[in-house]
Amino acid sequence: MCDFSGKLIAWMDGELPEGEATLVERHLDGCAGCRSRLAAYRQASSAFDAYCDASTDWMSTAMAPQARRRAPQWRPIAAGVAAAIAVVVALLLVLPSHRGRQEPVSTATITAPSISSVPTQSEAAASATTAPLKGEVHSANLSATRHAAADRARVKVTRREHLAAAPLVRQTLAARGPVESAELLPARPAIEIAIPWDAMFPPGAVPEGVSFVADVTLGADGSAERLRLQPRLVKFDRRATRP
């Protein structure tokens, strides 16, 4: 076995420094034994990956009935929902500053990045602070009120097929009148947020007509201290089609 055989796997994985990699490549051109070994290593590597993929598929299939009994289908996406809620929570914090303005401030918007184009933080900041509202409210709404020690937010995310072509996340903040307490909640949502269901939910995870209501409690530092998700069956949300 030649001296290069010990470097074949590292070379295959692209882990060798450029100079060493070049030497290995030159050696492979002239060494049939190493080419054969490399092919065997590649085959073993692929077989291992395929075996583990099949194991995962098999486990998922075998465990699916039990998993459905133990957890709702939408449970795997709780993290995604929580992440979206964090955005809403963040938007809540900006409300007081808007309330204090003398001139009516109707709207502000933050448009989250798409998968193919993630804006820089400065771009997102510019969007958050200066962009006019052009967002269309689709399927979710949020009502919020401030308490002495904590903020509570309510988010509803509804599965809507037509949102698949929408931006990944479209959030709309509509600053309305001052909100003093839970009893004085505005008739219309103070904040409306639209999140395409397929941005967070795996295919088939959310049955048609099911939405989620999330209650989140904020700590003094703005982090989410408590999160409670509840599924709800909803009728068609007509607000989604309003101009």
Please, are residues 219 and 147 in contact by the beta-carbon 8 Å criterion?
no
**Rule CB under 8 A: which of 38-57 touch another protein?**
40-41, 43-45, 47-57
Binding mask 84-103 for another protein (x = CB under 8 A): x-xx--xx-xx--xx-xxx-
| Sheet with 151-158, side-by-side order of all strands | 107-111, 170-174, 191-194, 142-146, 151-158, 210-218, 224-233
Fill in the per-residue mask, 119 to 158: x = in contact with another protein (CB under 8 A), - = not in contact. x-x--xxxxxx-----------------------------
> Do the strands 224-233 and 191-194 form a parallel or antiparallel pair, or are they unpaired?
unpaired
Q: What is the sign of the dihedral through the CA atoms of 189, 194, 198 and 201? A: negative
Residue of 2, 59, 150, 184 that binds another protein (CB under 8 A): 59
End-to-end CA distance of the chain: 73
- Please say which residue, 80 or 189, places its beta carbon nearer to another protein: 80
**Residue that has been written with the tokens 């009148």 in this structure:** 177
Q: Does 2 help bind another protein (rule: CB under 8 A)? A: no
d(CA 243, CA 241): 6
61 touches another protein by CB under 8 A: yes
In the list 139, 171, 172, 211, the residue contacting another protein (rule: CB under 8 A) is 171
Q: Does 10 bind another protein (CB under 8 A)?
A: yes
CB of 105 to another protein, least distance (A): 9
| Amino acid symbol at 14 | G
Number of residues that bind another protein (CB under 8 A): 73
- Residues of span 182-221 touching another protein by CB under 8 A: 199-200, 202
